[in-house]
Amino acid sequence: MIENESAGEWHPGEGWKVLEGTNFSRHMGPFYYRPAGKHVRFCMKTDSRHDNSHERAHGGVVMSFADEALGFAGRWSRDNLPMFTIEFDCRFLDAILCGDVVEVEPEVIKATRSLMFIRGDCTVDGRPVASCTGVWKVLEKR
């Protein structure tokens, strides 16, 4: 992890790229990604903007990050076909403090012509903090 404290900038290090996601994710992020074997790994650093109370990151931030990461992993596995979330479930396992780096490596469980089933476990320094699953509707390119 690279941090330039004088400039207030943080970057996860070599090989990570900024995810050019939605306006919402750019507002919350930046989010980053990098190839991890045949999968893609995503990360974000939480900060004071994400504070819910007592210097803990709001659960909605973690859910939004995971939804974006799982959705992009599914989309990229389907030749970048557009898709949207139709169901998302998140179980919180441990607190995430502001300043923690949250990572997830999504896994496509099943893909049909029109649906994708994807899961991912969010971690902080290898410690499980949330477990997420979802279903995405695949759209045809226009």
Whichever domain contains 39, its CATH number is 3.10.129.10
Concatenated DSSP letters of the chain:
-EEETTTTEEE--TT-EE----HHHHHH--EEEEEETTEEEEEEE--GGGEEETTEE-HHHHHHHHHHHHHHHHHHHTTT--EEEEEEEEEE-S--BTTPEEEE--EEEEE-SSEEEEEEEEEETTEEEEEEEEEEEE----
pLDDT attached to residue 67: 96
Range of the domain at 84: 2-138
pLDDT attached to residue 1: 52
The CA distance from 78 to 70, in Å, is 13
What confidence category does residue 37 fall into, taking pLDDT thresholds of 50, 70 and 90? confident
Number of domains in the chain: 1
Give 54-92 pLDDT, tens digit per residue: 899 999 999 999 999 999 999 999 999 999 999 999 999
The CA distance from 130 to 113, in Å, is 29
Entry pTM: 0.89
Q: In this model, does residue 98 exceed pLDDT 90?
A: yes
pLDDT attached to residue 5: 39
What confidence category does residue 7 fall into, taking pLDDT thresholds of 50, 70 and 90? very low
Tell me the average pLDDT across 114-127: 98
How large a percentage of the chain has pLDDT more than 70? Answer: 94
The CA distance from 97 to 91, in Å, is 17
Of 22, 25, 113, 9, nearest to 62 by C-alpha is: 25
